[in-house]
Structure 1
């Protein structure tokens, strides 16, 4: 449940925070990163799926690399705002 809520927070924050950042800085338009947003969403779903596969079936699949990639994309997206 925590992973799914984290995914939802990432999606909602990716839509709300750029708006408030642009308004707070007095910018004419907010910065949009549609490719990064899509990559974050899809890789987050892949990471959650790999995590559940690892826990349910006791496989040696480690989602750490995918999770680290998602974290790096979140930092890149936040830097663009």
Structure 2
């Protein structure tokens, strides 16, 4: 699945990460192949993919949302 093209500029938060050279090289190769100019775009979309496809994370987020909704309705 090819990552979609880069959209207009959004507000970004800068932070430093460390990763293995092999993973970095593969990211670089993928970005070149896909025509992605900025690796941060790739990393952001890879993270979004994980956030929507990791069933345990999705369940956790749903439970957090439910707990917040319940605690809000209890205070009324």
TM range, smaller chain: 0.3 to 0.5
Tell me the TM-score normalized by structure 1. Answer: 0.31
By relative contact order (CA 8 Å, sep 6+), the higher-ranking structure is 1
Tell me the TM-score normalized by structure 2. Answer: 0.33
Which has the higher Rg, Structure 1 or Structure 2?
2
